[in-house]
Amino acid sequence: MANEFINFDKISRKSWQELHQKTKPLLTEKELESIKSLNDNINIQDVVDVYLPLISLIQIYKKNQENLSFSKSIFLKKDVTIRPFIIGISGSVAVGKSTTSRLLQLLLSRTFKNSKVEMVTTDGFLYPNEILIERTLLDKKGFPESYDMELLLNFLDSIKNGDSAEIPVYSHEIYDIIPDHRQVIQSPDFLILEGINVFQNQQNNRLYMSDYFDLSIYIDADNKHIESWYLERFESLLELAKSDPNNYYNRFTKMSREEALLFAKNIWETINLVNLEKYIEPTRNRAELILHKSKNHKIDEIYLKK
């Protein structure tokens, strides 16, 4: 991490956890189990050490957003409009974005008791497989060109303006957009948008999704660690797919464990790692906050933009 981080304050986990007065973790061990992803190693201590200080920081940003909005409306002689607070969360495949997003959703709804906190994943904005096949992009699923970025930007624009929106839903079981299925998002107070592409700009366009965010978070880790988490997760998914012939991963259960892992390693090296190095990681310093994970999924360092 060289000069790219010149504009960030690096904070150790120990210093970070001291920034927050010790309080109850706001959720139980059982609730934490229910929201964490397959192989994500997170416990209540992590919630207290890392996520509660993060909630305190979000409260500061939220207050700042409200004050700015109020001052602007006075300056422009306009009525004050309450806009949702949008948090963008990015990082590699298998780095733990979903767990962080679900955890933040729960902690925010407990901190801001009367607030509606919605979570959306950008998987829903992938083109359906038939379109990807038509455009010979199926092997590039997750790359910038595999997303309907216009739809995604329009969605963010609607939400930022206080409107409701209907968006497609992606299923990891069928590895495709679910036909005729929609997620309805109605004027939330907080929106968490999670995905590998949330800091990228639209192809050949000057719009950045990050322009809509009030806070942006990047989850970072050494590529070697992410690879091993990806392979661990692949094995867990195979285990779950064994008895379900409709599950996308069921086809890999017919292979030997060695063959299946070799296949997954190849997917990591030719698709996910390429996407990470070429398109995801270069957007890292657009984040306001970088949570860096060590080998065992534990957040060891935090980088906060100065």
Binding residues for ATP: 91-98
Return all residues near 165 (Cβ < 8 A) that are at least 6 apart. Answer: 155, 158, 159, 184, 185
Distances (CA, A) of 25 to 33, 47, 166, 271: 14, 6, 33, 38
| Distance of alpha carbon 66 from alpha carbon 84, whole angstroms | 10
Q: Residue 3 burial (CB < 10 Å; 0-12/13-18/19+)?
A: exposed
**Cβ atoms < 10 Å from Cβ of 47:** 22
Annotated binding-site ranges: 91-98
| Distance of alpha carbon 203 from alpha carbon 226, whole angstroms | 27
Geometric angle at alpha carbon 24, from 61 and 193, rounded to 5°: 40
b (16+ CB within 10 A) / e for 181-215: eebebebbbbbbbbbbbbbbbeeeeeebbbebbbb
Question: Do residues 183 and 120 touch, judged by C-beta distance below 8 A?
Answer: yes
Q: Kind of pairing, strands 190-194 and 117-121?
A: parallel
